[in-house]
A = this chain, B = another copy of it.
Amino acid sequence: MTNELALAALGDPTRRTIFECLSDRPSAVGELAQLLPVSRPAVSQHLKVLKDAGLVVDQKVGNRRIYRLDPNGIGDLRDYLERFWGCALTTFKMKSEQKGQE
Which A residues are within 8 Å of any B CB, using their own CB? 4, 7-8, 10-13, 16, 19-20, 22-23, 69, 71, 74-75, 78, 81, 84-85, 87-89, 92
Inter-subunit contact B78/A85 (CB<8 Å): yes
Partner of A88, one of B4, B8, B11, B69: B69
Q: Kindly report how many copies of this chain are found in the complex they form together.
A: 2
How far apart sit A23 and B8, CA to CA, in the bound complex (Å)? Answer: 20
**Given contacts A7-B7, A78-B89, could you give 18 more A-B pairs where the C-beta distance is less than 8 Å?**
A4-B13, A7-B11, A7-B16, A8-B12, A8-B13, A11-B11, A11-B12, A19-B85, A20-B84, A22-B88, A23-B84, A23-B87, A69-B88, A71-B89, A74-B88, A74-B89, A75-B89, A78-B81
Q: Is the interface of A mostly helix, strand, loop or mixed?
A: helix
- Offer 7 A-B interface pairs, CB within 8 angstroms, sorted by A: A7-B7, A8-B13, A19-B84, A23-B84, A23-B87, A71-B89, A78-B89
